[in-house]
Chain A
Amino acid sequence: MRAKQLTALLTAAAMITGMCACGSSGEPAGSGSKDGGAAAAGVETTESGEIVKQDPFFKYEEPVTITTFFEISPTLENFKESDPDEIYFFQQMKEETNISLDYLWYAAKTADDSVQKKSMAIASGELPDFMLVNSAQLGMLAKTDLINRDMGDIFEAYASDDLIEWTTCEGMGAIKSATYDGEMIAIPLVSGSIDNTPMLWIRRDWMNNLGLEMPETMEELYDVMLAFKNDDPDGNGVDDTTGLTIHNDFLSTGMSDVVGLFNGFGAYPGAWVEDGNGGLTYGSTTKEARQALEYLAKMYQDGLIRVDFSSVDGTAASEELIGGTSGLFYGKMFCGGWPLMYGAQNDPSADWVALPLPSATGEPARPQTAISIEAYAVVSAKCEHPEAIVRMLNYFIEKSTAEKEEYNRCLVSYDGTTTNFPLMYIMLRNDYALKNLNAHYACMEAVEKEDPSALSGEPLAYYEAIMKYQDGDIAGGYMGQKIFGDDMSSYTVIDYYHQNDLVLLDAFYGEPTETMGQKLTLITDAVMEYYTKVIMGTDSLDRFDEFVAECNALGLDQITEEVNAWYLEQ
């Protein structure tokens, strides 16, 4: 009997434990560098306290091993754990810097796998020497003593001019977002924010079938959607087409969202924008957002959006674009590759082109985006060579700007038929903000001169793809043509944004304010719920002011105050 009671107790106990099993210490993962090199540790200062610049391209005298983890990107098919070591880039890094990497764990690059493993590492306090984290994880780490807080000084002392230029070419926002309580606690790994602007993708062959003009205003866009829905644009005699493809998470930009549509009305959901009185306001609750919602609700009523869009996820939406039942969606520049390239494999006549955002205001629409930080590199407090992380970034940028042959060997090689991306094996990397736009310019110049001899690396691969497309291999060259080509491609649109200075950056890029950390998810949640209901007609736009009041009650008021206090300091 006693044994039975014990089992009962244990069973009950096991249930209690279920949810709280995290937090206690796991086995110690290897931490700290394994062997030391004496050169270049610490930061020297002059008598006046200024930091002495060190040689950014120094080499350790003794081999240094830095521990980290490996995130397996979905593009790496058949990945083996030995693969990264066989990359020339890392062999050469060992040669030039005496640094080698030791991966403590490997994880697929998904929210479930990689993000969770990192959160576990943080919770257990056993960080590798350096790790890439997202802003939420950085916020948590900022409160701990697990990470090196002198990265600002180390960065200043060791960063090469190129690294500083790449990190700050879009302003100090990236650095500021990694600065907590006045200390830079991580190195922001940036890419081009301009690459993340929304644009409108449209099927030109359908437009030609129906004899329509490319839309420039939201009214014209509405007529195009009506025609796409009702006038059988694909000419197959079946009523199987839709007006605009959107999915259930429609405020997350990328593919088939509606952020670009909101921008057409001068509304910037989720972003902090200037309110015209010198302050900042939250873009999801403005009167312009209301107009955009009204437009979307009307679209839903007229059957221009799938009746069950709230059950359509990103994958299902991409299938609609590939499957030839949709000819319109808002998306970013990469859509010319994924998913549209796969549509061209099914049907080469699917001639998608990119357009600048149509506008309802009479002024050109301003595409919204945020300072683009791919990740933050945090360095463990136990790491003996924090400067090695900066050294590796210097090395990466050195190779990124290297001459054709060395660049190809290290990062992107093209052997005439296939493009290889050793780049995908490199975790610690960043992008020059205008890299892709410059690649587009270089391609355009080469196409015009019919001479690719000035090209190398990525631009050359794109050029070859454009040539392929123009020689009739539509599917093979689709991605190059639609993203980097000269004919209404992603970068002709981005070039237009760039030339006309239209890009609108989220004005808030600081450390999340206190209330923001606690309550912003409640507000974004409420926004998604209300927006979805309004579009589907189960809630009314007349309640918009009430909805704004609800958001304020949830804490938006207070967050706005804190954001404005931050803004005043800038």
Chain B
Amino acid sequence: MLEARDLKKQFLSGESVFVLFEHLDFAAKAGEMVVITGRSGSGKSTLLYQLGLLDTPNDGVVSVDGIPASSLAHNARTDLRLERFGYVFQDYGLMPEMTALDNVLVPLIMRGESYPRAEAAARAALVRVGLGDRLSSKPARLSGGQQQRVSIARAIAHEPPYILADEPTANLDSASARQVLDMFSEIHRGGATIIMVTHEKESLALADRVLELRDGALLAVGTETHPPAVPSSLREGGAYGL
């Protein structure tokens, strides 16, 4: 289970302190797909970074499968990210000098896989996302949708229990976005826990649970048994931005 308790994140803005959220609790059960939505600047991506151990909260605890991550040393946090998480970034986060295959290979090598095994796993992950014919292509030679699929391949290649996705379809055209969401759907069916931050309405239908981050609080929008309602931030007239 990925859990956050009493989370607080604040920023300094000149002399003043801006509290993004405080006393925030979150929990994602194994195999659950949670979509977090909210207005631009509401702090949803910031919350995702706290949950993914990419940033440190000002207060509160993030636990990964019972391990309190906040108290871990730098290397232990890095190792935990490597073992338990797969990340999909809004703008893909690929190494421009590496091929699609190499981008997927890097975390596998860090995990201690032998090169042939790592390469086989990376190749398989790229085949799964439909890029078996673009293994040697560098990111600059791939479309946005293809780059995001490489990013997904990198996130799933080591079969982590948690996939964190930050606006994975925001930079994509609707066809590519549909493909990417289908992939998340399949990954979810495979049993991975997915936490996705998005402002795309299409993503909501995939979620087991939709949470809206509003005024520093997480509000449940739908239930597991009923299709999620459109949160206030996604209703017509809502203001979003990237």
Q: Are the chains A and B members of one assembly?
A: no
